Amino acid sequence: MKQTSLIIALFISCNVLFSQEETQQTPSPNYRLAAKFSPKNLAKLVHSTTVTPHWLKNGNRFWYQYKTTEGSNYYLVDADKKSKTKLFDNAKMAKWLTEITKDPYTAKHLPRFDFEFVNNETAIRFRVTSTEEVEIAKEEKEDTQKDSTSTKKEKKEKPKMEKKEYYLQYKLGSNSLTVLNNKKEPKKEWEKWANVAPDSTIVLFSKNYNLFWMDKANFLKAVKDPKDSTIVEHQWTTDGVKHFGYGGNHRTFSDKEEKKEEDKRESIYGFWSHDSKKFVFQKSDSRHIKDLWVINSVTSSRPSLETYKYHMAGEQEFYKTNLLVFDMPSKEVTTVKIDTAVQQSISVYAHRYKKSNTSKHKPRLLLSKKNKIYFNTVSRDRKKLDIHVADISSGEVKTLISEHFNTYIEKRDIVLFNNETEILHWSERDGWAHFYLYDANGNLKNQITNGEFHVDNFEGIDEKTRTLYFTANGVNKDIDPYYAHLYKINLNGSGFKNLNKGDYNTSISVSDSNSFFVSNYSRVNTIPKSELRDNNGQIILNLETADLSQLMATGYKFPEPFKMKADDGITDIYGVMYKPFDFDETKKYPLIEYVYPGPQTEAVSKSFSVSMNRTDRMAQVGFIVVTLGNRGGHPDRSKWYHTYGYGNLRDYGLADKKYVAEQLADKYDFIDIDKVGIFGHSGGGFMSTAAMLVYPDFFKVAVSSAGNHDNTIYNSWWSETHHGIKEEKDAEGKISYKYAIDKNQSLAKNLKGKLMLVTGDIDNNVHPGSTIRVADALIKANKRFDFMLMPGQRHGFGKMTEYFFWLKADYFSKHLLGIEATSTDITEMNRDTPKKG
């Protein structure tokens, strides 16, 4: 018996020691470290990380603002002269502003400026608001006949006050600052409703769902006083009704708000011809599209019902769109001859303004300057794209280019050039995104780019040298295929050249002349830098290196990019690992995946970013957080990669998420593969819940927010495009659409781990009903889970975002680290908030 007792005692002792050792290996939650990197605190640590050039009209010049720990500086760059100079001396500007406004300024503490270049770009104008309050000047009104009551003594009222404003001008290189006036910049209420013609002679707007117009003289009256009773308005159409009208506000309204909007002037969007004589409008009939509702329970009065049109995946109804041309001189209306009985979407191609065009009046213009309307149609199943041109006078239509694919079609804007005799077209027809050259009649001349890489965006074209400038991914097979770079190529396919080589992701801004470009470059683990290059790729100036000194002083450490294999053992998957800044390699850390599956993007950062709320910051609590791609994710790779999930939109990315986590645990001893969490928002909410239900023995904890768990009640564009919808004809030729997709709630019985579902109660993007249906299925399956409703919040959670971060931190801490936050107060949110009486 003694021997047996001794063995039992030793067994218990060993278990206690093992338990203590295991406890020591798991980190304790470090809320204080996570709190250091709140968005509010980060704004004090990191300032500018990229150069945003404001290109000017004269020469290859631009100005930009850049902020460091020493304050903001404003620079003028002349690429032709290879020079970079300060727009002004900060100390002098501070002195002048102090003397003028009587408010104190220093060189480090200047207001943020928004400059307007004037006088042939030799001077800048800007506004500054002082702390001094002045009486609001009363508007002078025209004399009118006074009745007998007007002789009564006017009632004296307390004058209304406002902050004094200064409109200032600084001549570049001068030694003074000039006050132009103290007039407050007028409110531009008219911008909410007025569509002003390019030549400003006529203004269009919507009223009671019909098209109205007024001339310039009456518009100027409306600018001064919208309620002026002498304003003359002309009604052009009479057949407009709600959901089948000419403009008007189609945003979500509560029942009370909608009544307030009656008889108001509203906006009408369309495309002007360059000569201001024609206006092209897409009149869409959505009366037959079913309504959807949310209830706002936290309004100031009684809860209000919000009603809006919402087309769900698989519904037989579809938007019916007419393309109308309004002729200004004759007031006639021409209908473009397209088949409105076919279920398709229509997009009109628009003119691209030059970057140096800083005009405040930039109406949306048609792509063509020659009385033509270029537009495209995409079939309901998104498998067919047609590019058309219509005669703006007759409405006759000619189809120029047709694309067909067995999955969905991606598209970009076409480019007209060479006096509109040639067309640049982007297509993935050979499995990779490339540019193709067509003549004006739609005849293919040649494929311009070619190879196993992804052409992304058009950046410019030099018609004289017939050189095309564009960004692309995956050209250099030795670096991350998501890294974008700028390239040029001759239109005949020769002369292909990378203009900003490097193992970095880059964002660029090309000058209107195509002679120079600003390149911002970094990786997630490098300090961002900015440079100016010419169109041969030569560095002209090194512009800026981001100031991360204060961030690094906090103990910040860069995350680590990695490359693993997908579940097929062949496809490369790229990701980023985020560790706690107090990382201890002797400890065993739970692994959390932050997911957004796409397919329009992946939640994997490629450039340095201070947006840490979902990654770096969550790691500080005591986790290894990873983001990674998956087959069927980002479009910047092959068409095969991008459309891998077609027809399987719930489960397509999960095997890769699981397999990469296992590879990481095999490589790194500090990862605890028995404690894997996952979280995501929107599509990531959909995926994180699916992961818990498809692999219930692998994924142990999930926080799933605003997820489109049931795509039959999500919008048709996303789910019909990326999952697919089948077009069927019956014996009589009638077309119907069949849509079937796996739903998360169908797997509710599989839940084993800890799941928190979160939704905003007035989310009019992903309806809260999608989350509620999963909750309903879990309850019916007798499962324990957690549910949180964010009151008064739409899809992004708005001002409750910080609260939601700590909600996630608490949940993962409790179920992965074994420590639960029990205090009623979220101390980390309260600590730095000033207390008010």
The pLDDT of residue 145 is 46
User: Are both 516 and 582 inside the same structural domain?
Assistant: no
Checking DSSP bridges between strand 123-135 and strand 161-171, what pairing results, if any?
antiparallel
Q: Distances in Å between the alpha carbon of 48 and those of 42, 43, 286, 525, 542? A: 12, 10, 44, 17, 15
β-strand partners of 680: 704
User: Are both 523 and 568 inside the same structural domain?
Assistant: no
User: Are both 702 and 683 inside the same structural domain?
Assistant: yes
For 469-485, how does the pLDDT look when each residue is reduced to its tens digit (9 = 90+)? 999 999 999 999 999 99
Residue 4 lies in a domain: no
> What's the rounded Cα separation, in Å, for the pair 595 and 614?
10
User: Are both 205 and 91 inside the same structural domain?
Assistant: no
Query: Considering its fold, how many domains does the chain have in total?
Result: 4
Report residue 131 CA to chain centroid gap.
Answer: 35
State which amino acid sits at residue 197: A
Tell me the average pLDDT of the chain.
93
Average pLDDT over residues 437-451: 98
User: Are both 503 and 558 inside the same structural domain?
Assistant: no
The pLDDT of residue 732 is 86
- Greater confidence (466 vs 157) lies with 466
What's 403's domain CATH number? 2.140.10.30
> What's the rounded Cα separation, in Å, for the pair 714 and 729?
25
Per-residue pLDDT at 148 exceeds 80: no
The pLDDT of residue 611 is 86
Residue 368 lies in a domain: yes
User: Are both 275 and 167 inside the same structural domain?
Assistant: no
Residue keyed to tokens 């001893």:
669
User: Are both 198 and 341 inside the same structural domain?
Assistant: yes
Residue 140 lies in a domain: no
User: Are both 116 and 227 inside the same structural domain?
Assistant: no
Q: Which of 488, 523, 542 represents a domain boundary (last residue)?
A: 542
The pLDDT of residue 251 is 60
**DSSP collapsed to 3 states, 350-380:** ECCCCCCCCCCCCCCEECCCCCEEEEEEEEC
For 284-334, how does the pLDDT look when each residue is reduced to its tens digit (9 = 90+)? 999 999 999 999 999 988 999 999 999 999 999 999 999 999 999 999 999
> What's the rounded Cα separation, in Å, for the pair 279 and 205?
12
* Burial (CB count within 10 angstroms: exposed 0-12, middle 13-18, buried 19+), residue 71: middle
Contacts of 401 (CB under 8 A, 6+ apart): 386, 387, 423, 425, 438, 442
Per-residue pLDDT at 185 exceeds 90: no
Residue 426 lies in a domain: yes
User: Residue 183 belongs to what domain range?
Assistant: 54-135+161-187
Residue 730 lies in a domain: no
> What's the rounded Cα separation, in Å, for the pair 96 and 85?
20
Lowest-pLDDT range, 5-19, 335-349, 462-476?
A: 5-19
Q: Strands across the sheet with 434-439, in order?
A: 415-417, 422-427, 434-439, 444-447
| C-beta separation of 802 from 612 below 8 A | no
Question: What secondary structure does DSSP assign to 76-96, as a single string?
Answer: EEETTTTEEEESS-HHHHHHH
User: Are both 337 and 457 inside the same structural domain?
Assistant: no
Per-residue pLDDT at 141 exceeds 90: no
Of the candidates 624, 626, 721, 710, the one whose C-alpha atom is nearest the C-alpha of residue 670 is 624
| C-beta separation of 519 from 607 below 8 A | no
The pLDDT of residue 144 is 43
User: Are both 560 and 450 inside the same structural domain?
Assistant: no
For 94-124, how does the pLDDT look when each residue is reduced to its tens digit (9 = 90+)? 999 999 999 999 999 999 999 999 999 999 9
For 53-88, how does the pLDDT look when each residue is reduced to its tens digit (9 = 90+)? 999 999 999 999 999 999 999 999 999 999 999 999
Of the candidates 682, 641, 552, 617, the one whose C-alpha atom is nearest the C-alpha of residue 828 is 617
User: Are both 601 and 512 inside the same structural domain?
Assistant: no
Angle at 630 between CA 626 and CA 633, to 5 degrees: 115
Per-residue pLDDT at 149 exceeds 90: no
The pLDDT of residue 14 is 45
| C-beta separation of 310 from 370 below 8 A | no
DSSP state of 109: B
The pLDDT of residue 254 is 62
Q: Which of 495, 524, 542 represents a domain boundary (last residue)?
A: 542
What's 515's domain CATH number? 2.120.10.30
The pLDDT of residue 683 is 95
The pLDDT of residue 152 is 53
Instruction: Grade residue 142 by pLDDT with cuts at 50, 70 and 90.
Output: very low
Residue 491 lies in a domain: yes
Instruction: Grade residue 785 by pLDDT with cuts at 50, 70 and 90.
Output: very high
Checking DSSP bridges between strand 278-285 and strand 271-272, what pairing results, if any?
antiparallel
For 659-676, how does the pLDDT look when each residue is reduced to its tens digit (9 = 90+)? 999 999 999 999 999 999
Per-residue pLDDT at 8 exceeds 80: no
Lowest-pLDDT range, 31-40, 444-453, 537-546?
A: 31-40
> What's the rounded Cα separation, in Å, for the pair 73 and 64?
8
The token duo for 708 is: 């489109």
Per-residue pLDDT at 590 exceeds 80: yes
* Burial (CB count within 10 angstroms: exposed 0-12, middle 13-18, buried 19+), residue 566: buried
Residue 155 lies in a domain: no
> What's the rounded Cα separation, in Å, for the pair 549 and 285?
56
Question: What secondary structure does DSSP assign to 761-827, as a single string?
Answer: TT-SSS-HHHHHHHHHHHHHTT---EEEEETT--TT-GGGHHHHHHHHHHHHIIIIIS-----SS-H
- 630: how many CB neighbours lie within 10 A of its CB? 29
pLDDT above 90 coverage of the chain, percent: 87
The pLDDT of residue 10 is 45
**Peptide bond connecting 599 to the previous residue in cis, omega within 30 degrees of 0:** yes
Checking DSSP bridges between strand 671-681 and strand 699-705, what pairing results, if any?
parallel
> What's the rounded Cα separation, in Å, for the pair 745 and 388?
43
Per-residue pLDDT at 354 exceeds 90: yes
Average pLDDT over residues 453-480: 97
Residue 10 lies in a domain: no
Q: Distances in Å between the alpha carbon of 60 and those of 77, 81, 516, 544? A: 8, 9, 7, 19
* Burial (CB count within 10 angstroms: exposed 0-12, middle 13-18, buried 19+), residue 339: exposed
The pLDDT of residue 17 is 41
Q: Helix, strand or coil for residue 548?
A: coil
For 200-256, how does the pLDDT look when each residue is reduced to its tens digit (9 = 90+)? 999 999 999 999 999 999 999 999 999 999 999 999 999 999 999 999 876 655 656
Phi-psi region of 546 (alpha: psi -120 to 50; beta: other; left: phi over 0): beta
Residue keyed to tokens 């095999």:
666
> What's the rounded Cα separation, in Å, for the pair 575 and 565?
11
| C-beta separation of 429 from 455 below 8 A | no
Contacts of 691 (CB under 8 A, 6+ apart): 595, 654, 657, 658, 678, 699, 702
Angle at 818 between CA 812 and CA 823, to 5 degrees: 75
Of the candidates 107, 159, 163, 110, the one whose C-alpha atom is nearest the C-alpha of residue 134 is 163
User: Are both 518 and 578 inside the same structural domain?
Assistant: no
Question: What secondary structure does DSSP assign to 558-624, as a single string?
Answer: --EEEEEE-TTSSSEEEEEEE--TT--TTS-EEEEEE----SS--S---S-----TTTHHHHHTT-E
Per-residue pLDDT at 125 exceeds 70: yes
Q: Distances in Å between the alpha carbon of 636 and those of 161, 422, 565, 601, 608? A: 54, 26, 18, 8, 19
Average pLDDT over residues 358-379: 96
What's 611's domain CATH number? 3.40.50.1820
Per-residue pLDDT at 13 exceeds 60: no
For 690-731, how does the pLDDT look when each residue is reduced to its tens digit (9 = 90+)? 999 999 999 999 999 999 999 999 999 999 999 999 999 888
